[in-house]
Structure 1
């Protein structure tokens, strides 16, 4: 399930008790912490996701705006 160009995609997420995303599972089965995922997205290794700077000055991940809410990061299935 690699994206065009052979890049991985996120297929599942973990969240903390506040509902914040904390980890991601990739299409190749790797599990990345939020910080690792952020580094890989910024390096262009993950498709369908981008990094943006929030009002608080921190950098966050979000799914690319494509009009399909089912592939938003918050909508991905959970993994243990």
Structure 2
């Protein structure tokens, strides 16, 4: 099972894509789908305050500790 090892942020600091342990670069939306389907471990989906589905690492409270790759 894959995990998220890094991420890509836009110039505003928003996460736009993730890098998996298999080296794939996937969009935020694809990461949500794959987390819900059990393809990616270590993250969970949740409904944010605006009613949107978002991702959160299971053992961290944010993605701030993940490397930002360009």
**RMSD of aligned residue pairs (Cα, Å):** 1.4
Question: Which runs of 4 or more aligned residues in structure 1 lie more than 6 Å from their structure 2 counterparts after TM superposition?
Answer: none
How big is each residue's C-alpha offset from its partner over 1:44-77, in whole Å with a ceiling of 9 and x where there is no partner? Answer: 111110000011100000101x3x57xx422111
TM-score, L = length of structure 2: 0.89
Matches within 5 A, 1:16-31: 16-31=10-25
Task: Say which structure is richer in strand.
Answer: 2
Quick one: distance in 2 between partners of 1:29 and 1:45? 14
- Aligned residues, how many? 70
Q: Distance in 2 between matches of 1:74 and 1:51?
A: 17
Q: Which runs of 5+ in 2 are unaligned?
A: none
Measured in 1, the distance between the counterparts of 2:29 and 2:64 equals 17
- Give the greater-gyration-radius structure (CA): 1
Matched, 1:73 2:67: no
* Structure with greater proportional helix content: 1
